Amino acid sequence: MKDLDYETLDEDARGILRQNDRGGFTIPTSGLYPFQWNWDSVFAAWGFSTFDLPRAWAEIEALFEGQLPSGMVPHIIFRKDDSDYFPGPGVWGCDLGAFSSSGITQPPVAATFIRKLYEQDPALGRPILETLVPKLYAWHQWFMDWRCSDDGAIFVTHPWESGRDNSPDWDSSMAALEPGDVGPYTRRDTSHVDPSMRPTKAEYDRYLYLVQRGRKLGWDDAAMAEAPEFQVAEPGISFILLRANRDLAALCDAVGRDASDVNAWTARIETGCKTLWNDEIGGYDAVNLLTGARSGALSSVAFLCWYAGMPDARMQAPLTRVLSDVAFPVPSLVPQDARFDSLRYWRGPTWGFVNSMIGLGLAESGLTSEAETLRQRTAEVIRKGGFAEYFDPITGAPAGGDSFTWTAAIWLAWVRAGSEG
């Protein structure tokens, strides 16, 4: 691995965004992920905003074209089919919106990055914001109606809804599922990427089982909420919605819309996030709401408490540790955990876009030296390995797909912002 220079990487990063642009929306990477993914698309917009703000807004508008009548914004929007991907639109069978889509959502980062776009040029953004705020509001309302536990923590109904597909946070819930015969299927992911870097077959059977269940119920929120088979409250989506709500309130103010509901949601989720603290691990972790079992996993998303506007002094020690335990933090699971696997997706690898959110939160909370360390290490791992999907936190080896949109995007919008290189 050799260190690439900053200017070459800037050019490459812009090239990746352009190359993954499918005409108004951006795919995460060709082959492995050939459609529009929800949070990937928002990071793409953040990246575009560093050199083409109108294109950044177009990305967001395209994402919201996929919004369902319920207010939910799906995790994948299938604008056209592509046999390179499994499970595609025919498997999901969700045709409730303008496009075929998946039937689940993803962490709602949109309000936060829409605010960043808007603040870059309020005059340009204002008319778009007028149309987007009601859509954001409807999506957040949907979360409060269908994904908020009695305690106020936000839960997911499928591992993919968290965006952290094979995290140990789902292990106990996944083990309890009895997928039976999900029928024959051919995975496509393992023909693009080394299988040792991907979820296992047992996990895939269960992912599919939950998709088949939703499909059978017509992706109807009320029907799916009856006798649920998978409900896990988790720090990632909870902290992200908490943060996004605060940003939505600011956006409501910007367009003169009353934000009192949004502020009430914020208070409720903040209470919920506190329930995710686990003394046993000295950090935030996930709870299987069907059994009360804790995952006991300290994952990278626990470090989003600052991003969420919930600075927590108890997280300082784990932060210091995680920044020094591995050469390329933040690992998606701390290396002390027996389930740690430095290359397997969300069970160890470092994801640059997660670092960008952690880093924003640290900087906003005055933890500037930690924020700077994280930014420098992220710069280093990308300079060595390029714009990979994720990285081995110990060796820095690039892993998963390459020419990845969100890694390129955060290079431009976060790593390089304020960089001296």
Cβ proximity to ligand GLC: between 6 and 86 the closer is 86
Reported as type and span, the H/E element at residue 288 is strand 287-288
Residue closest to 36 by CA, chosen among 56, 21, 52, 19 = 21
Least distance (Å) between residue 37 CB and ligand GLC: 4
Q: How many residues bind ligand GLC (CB under 6 A)?
A: 8
Query: Which of 247, 270, 389, 392 is the catalytic position?
Result: 389
Applying CB under 6 A, among 28, 71, 359, 385 the residue interacting with ligand GLC is: 28
| CB proximity list for 390: less than 8 A, separation 6 or greater | 332, 345, 349, 350, 351, 352, 399, 400
Give the helix/strand (H/E) hosting 95. none
In the window 304-363, what residues touch ligand GLC (CB under 6 A)? none
Is residue 389 annotated as a catalytic residue, yes or no? yes
State in angstroms the smallest separation of the CB of 192 from ligand GLC. Answer: 12
Please select the residue that binds ligand GLC; options are 9, 13, 40, 115, rule is CB under 6 A: 40
Q: Is 159 in the site for ligand GLC (CB under 6 A)?
A: no
In the β-sheet with 232-233, what is the strand arrangement from edge to edge? Answer: 155-156, 232-233, 287-288
Select 236 or 385, whichever has its Cβ closest to ligand GLC: 236
Minimum CB–partner distance for residue 40 and ligand GLC (Å): 5
Euclidean distance between CA atoms 266 and 248, whole angstroms: 10
Q: Which two tokens stand for residue 73?
A: 């914004």
Nearer to ligand GLC, 28 or 152 (CB): 28
Helices (H), 302-412: 316-325, 352-364, 368-385, 405-410
11 catalytic? Reply is: no
Find the residue with minimal CB distance to ligand GLC.
163
Give min distance, CB of 268 to ligand GLC, in A.
Answer: 25
Q: Could you give the CA distance from residue 191 to residue 311 in angstroms, rounded to a whole number?
A: 42
Counts for the chain of helices (H) and strands (E), in that order: 17, 10
By beta-carbon proximity to ligand GLC, the closer residue of 39 and 328 is 39
Fill in the per-residue mask, 113 to 152: x = in contact with ligand GLC (CB under 6 A), - = not in contact.
----------------------------------------
To ligand GLC, the closest distance from the beta carbon of 222 in angstroms equals 27
Contact 285, 295 (CB under 8 A): yes
Contact flag: residue 163 with ligand GLC (CB under 6 A): yes
* CA 327 remoteness from chain centre: 23
Torsion of CA 273, 156, 338, 315, to 10 degrees: -20
Tell me the one-letter amino acid at 349. P
Chain-centre distance for alpha carbon 150:
23
Euclidean distance between the first and the last CA atom of the chain, given in angstroms as a whole number: 19
Residue 72 or 133 having the CB closest to ligand GLC: 72
Minimum distance from residue 74 beta carbon to ligand GLC (Å)? 12
Instruction: Give me the least distance between CB of 345 and ligand GLC, in Å please.
Output: 7
Binders of ligand GLC in range 47-76 (CB under 6 A): none
Catalytic option among 165, 234, 312, 402:
165
Q: Which of 10, 161, 165, 270 binds ligand GLC (CB under 6 A)?
A: 165
Buried b (16+ CB within 10 A) or exposed e, 379-403: bebbbbbbbbbbbbbbbbbbbbbbb
Contact between 37 and ligand GLC by CB under 6 A: the answer reads yes
- The minimum distance between CB 22 and ligand GLC, in angstroms, equals 14
Stretch that binds ligand GLC, among 7-15, 37-45, 53-61, 374-382 (CB under 6 A): 37-45
Angle at the Cα of 166 (from 161 to 172), degrees rounded to 5?
90
Burial code (b: 16+ CB inside 10 Å, e: under 16) for 136-174 equals bbbbbebbbebbbbebbbbbbbbbbbbbbbbbbbbbbbb
Residues 248-287, interacting with ligand GLC (CB under 6 A): none
Catalytic amino acids?
165, 389
Binding site for ligand GLC (CB under 6 A): 28, 33, 37, 39-40, 163-165
